[in-house]
A = this chain, B = another copy of it.
Amino acid sequence: MTTAEPIWIYDTTLRDGAQREGLSLSLEDKLRIAHQLDQMGIPFIEGGWPGANPKDVQFFWQIKEEPLSQAEIVAFCSTRRPGRTAAEDPMLQPILSAGTRWVTVFGKSWDLHVVEGLKTTLDENLEMIRDTLSYFRSQGRRVIYDAEHWFDGYRQNPDYALETLGAAIAGGAEWLVLCDTNGGTLPQDVATITRAVSKYIVNHLASHPLDPDRPAPQIGIHTHNDSGTAVANALAAVGEGARMVQGTINGYGERCGNANLCTLIPNLQLKLGYACVREEQLAKLTDTSRLISEIVNLAPDDHAPFVGLSAFAHKGGIHVSAVERNPLTYEHIRPEQVGNRRRIVISDQAGLSNVLAKARSFGIELEKDDPTCRHILQHLKTLENEGYQFEAAEASFELLMREALGQRQRFFELQGFQARCDMAPEMNDGNSYALATIKVRIDGKDYLEAAEGNGPVSALDAALRKALVNVYPAIAQFHLTDYKVRILDGGAGTSAKTRVLVESSNGHQRWTTVGVSTNIIEASYQAVVEGLEYGLLLQNQAEAVLST
């Protein structure tokens, strides 16, 4: 039983994280991310600003259909507009319609922003804060108050800034979140100012006692990385009593990003002894970081603390034997605690046990001293060097294993294909023309087929299916559910190596395959072929089970 003091993690990847330049989230992306965060044990997930755009409204509707196991989805909005009551402000209605238990309201702390930005009086801003929070409370919501530009505001006019917190307490805020919106504050200042807030709350409650059923408001912290100290700033606030920490996965966010939860959670939990998530949830951190970078299609940062591919990489020699003898002399934590692993660069000792574990998960029994095992590992490393990646393409990895074991069935032999794309100005709709022809041999018989498509890859995919369905009617049930392309060495321009990931489905199972080539058509062809092959393998296995 743990007696560690809790810190409440509040994730804003879906709202503040999406402000990152170059990142855009579909509704489907947002739902997948929310479910992953829920599995990680994140207690608060900010879903967006209902009403700001149609996607955010849909998200709140949709998430109610696919309930989370423990996380609270939070709706985000600003205080009401000046000059009317909260009840009269139509902007607040979509927030209520979102149907969340918790609402986060942000308001102005900096006098300058009140006067110049909102163009209202300092008193009206206080009333906007109190009234908005109190309205949501009257509608049965629990309220988190985000004090925007908190630290800059406090430096300019500490008395007024503190009064805005007083208004939030009066309105019923359970959390007062100090936001370093411009990201310019350094840890020492965060500590000093958070201490002042702590003191203010105590004094304020002494002179304005709360109803006996209301708990005292607690402090939260929301930092940005413009000074490269977002994580340290959050820790500094925690050191002065903050008990909610807001941030994003992989530190995504506007400009230089938000505080990175993948760094903060292990620092808080493993180093400072607070309780954020359960141990087994913390062990999902690396997977969560990488999965979310896949969903948003941004290359993961290999050098990220805790979760990066290089975070526990060691170079050869004495160092390696030393680290294996006594890891704590060269590693600040055990990588497994965050679901990462030690990597010995150059040496291939790492991974043998992974291959064994992986094989087991596919129902293939391998012994550690079986030479096939080392052979698979060798082949795997060669392919990964060429740019293949099997973490997300387990179907391709299983085919590779079966091949090494002599258990791979070839369903057809390629005799050749041609894919072409034509474009001429008379194609006035702006669409080019794509055509593919393919010849495959199955059981000694050749099948030649041609198909058109939106582009050469879809034409080739269609031609291949047309040829194969003659012999394998099950293929008619397979369809592609996802297609992803990543350029591996962008600096090589249009000659760069391309990795294609294809996700296929037969209606009740999904699997992912990979292809790599400098030629995107060839890379796509590899992934599509393995996708079909794996589907047929599943089909055969299902038939074998049925016939026993």
Please state if B495 and A454 are interface contacts (CB–CB under 8 Å).
Answer: yes
Please state if B297 and A486 are interface contacts (CB–CB under 8 Å).
Answer: yes
| A399: interface (CB < 8 Å) | no
From the candidates B267, B331, B484, B502, name the one contacting A182 in the complex (CB within 8 A): B331
From the candidates B110, B263, B391, B481, name the one contacting A22 in the complex (CB within 8 A): B391
| A444: interface (CB < 8 Å) | no
Bound together, the chains give a CA A260 to CA B227 distance in angstroms of 11
Spot the interface stretch: A2-10, A373-381, A418-426.
A418-426
Please state if B187 and A235 are interface contacts (CB–CB under 8 Å).
Answer: yes
Please state if A485 and B487 are interface contacts (CB–CB under 8 Å).
Answer: yes
Interface mask (A474-501 → B, CB under 8 Å = 1, otherwise 0): 0000011111111100111111101000
| A302: interface (CB < 8 Å) | yes
Please state if A493 and B483 are interface contacts (CB–CB under 8 Å).
Answer: yes
Bound together, the chains give a CA A28 to CA B492 distance in angstroms of 13
Q: Which residues of B contact A450 (CB under 8 A)?
A: none
Interface centre among A152, A186, A431 (most CB of B within 10 A): A186
Q: How large is the interface on A (under 10, 10 to 19, 20 to 34, 35 or more residues)?
A: 35 or more
Interface mask (A292-320 → B, CB under 8 Å = 1, otherwise 0): 00000101001111101011110100100
Bound together, the chains give a CA A329 to CA B182 distance in angstroms of 8
| A231: interface (CB < 8 Å) | yes
Q: Which residues of B contact A42 (CB under 8 A)?
A: none
Question: Which chain B residue shows the least CB distance to A435?
Answer: B420
| A51: interface (CB < 8 Å) | no
Please state if A522 and B432 are interface contacts (CB–CB under 8 Å).
Answer: yes
| A362: interface (CB < 8 Å) | no
A454-B414 contact in complex given A235-B187, A332-B184, C-beta closer than 8 Å: no
Please state if B425 and A415 are interface contacts (CB–CB under 8 Å).
Answer: yes
| A345: interface (CB < 8 Å) | yes
Minimal beta-carbon separation of A173 from chain B (angstroms): 24
Question: Which chain B residue shows the least CB distance to A524?
Answer: B494
Please state if A414 and B418 are interface contacts (CB–CB under 8 Å).
Answer: no
Please state if A303 and B425 are interface contacts (CB–CB under 8 Å).
Answer: no
Please state if B423 and A421 are interface contacts (CB–CB under 8 Å).
Answer: no
Please state if A491 and B20 are interface contacts (CB–CB under 8 Å).
Answer: no
Q: Which residues of B contact A415 (CB under 8 A)?
A: 424-425
Question: Which chain B residue shows the least CB distance to A233?
Answer: B232
Please state if B226 and A311 are interface contacts (CB–CB under 8 Å).
Answer: yes
| A21: interface (CB < 8 Å) | yes
Please state if A267 and B519 are interface contacts (CB–CB under 8 Å).
Answer: no
| A457: interface (CB < 8 Å) | yes
Bound together, the chains give a CA A525 to CA B431 distance in angstroms of 12
Bound together, the chains give a CA A254 to CA B496 distance in angstroms of 27
Please state if B329 and A116 are interface contacts (CB–CB under 8 Å).
Answer: yes
| A228: interface (CB < 8 Å) | yes
Bound together, the chains give a CA A364 to CA B466 distance in angstroms of 54
A519-B187 contact in complex given A182-B330, A325-B116, C-beta closer than 8 Å: no
* Interface hits, A242-263 → B, CB 8 Å: 254-257, 260, 263
A226-B187 contact in complex given A322-B117, A482-B490, A493-B458, C-beta closer than 8 Å: no
From the candidates B232, B326, B391, B423, name the one contacting A187 in the complex (CB within 8 A): B232
From the candidates B182, B315, B484, name the one contacting A490 in the complex (CB within 8 A): B484
From the candidates B28, B235, B315, B487, name the one contacting A229 in the complex (CB within 8 A): B235
Copies in the complex: 2
Interface mask (A203-237 → B, CB under 8 Å = 1, otherwise 0): 00000000000000000000001111101110110
Q: Which residues of B contact A363 (CB under 8 A)?
A: none
A interface SS class: mixed
From the candidates B263, B418, B455, B481, name the one contacting A422 in the complex (CB within 8 A): B418
| A183: interface (CB < 8 Å) | yes
Bound together, the chains give a CA A422 to CA B22 distance in angstroms of 35
Q: Which residues of B contact A152 (CB under 8 A)?
A: 329
Q: Which residues of B contact A271 (CB under 8 A)?
A: 184, 186, 227
Minimal beta-carbon separation of A424 from chain B (angstroms): 4
Minimal beta-carbon separation of A263 from chain B (angstroms): 4
| A288: interface (CB < 8 Å) | no
| A112: interface (CB < 8 Å) | yes
Bound together, the chains give a CA A127 to CA B490 distance in angstroms of 47
Bound together, the chains give a CA A498 to CA B232 distance in angstroms of 39
| A333: interface (CB < 8 Å) | yes
Q: 14 pairs across A/B with beta carbons < 8 Å?
A: A113-B329, A228-B267, A232-B233, A255-B308, A413-B425, A432-B521, A432-B522, A434-B521, A456-B519, A458-B493, A481-B493, A483-B492, A483-B494, A494-B502
**Which residues of chain A have a CB within 8 Å of any CB of chain B?**
19-22, 24, 28, 110, 112-113, 116-117, 149, 152, 182-184, 186-188, 225-229, 231-233, 235-236, 239, 254-257, 260, 263-264, 267, 271-272, 297, 299, 302-306, 308, 310-313, 315, 318, 322, 325-326, 329-333, 345, 389, 391-392, 413-425, 431-432, 434, 453-458, 460-461, 479-487, 490-496, 498, 502-503, 517-522, 524-525, 528
Given contacts A112-B329, A187-B187, A297-B491, 15 further A-B contacts (CB under 8 A): A22-B302, A117-B318, A183-B305, A254-B313, A255-B310, A256-B303, A416-B422, A417-B423, A423-B525, A431-B517, A431-B518, A455-B518, A455-B520, A482-B491, A493-B502
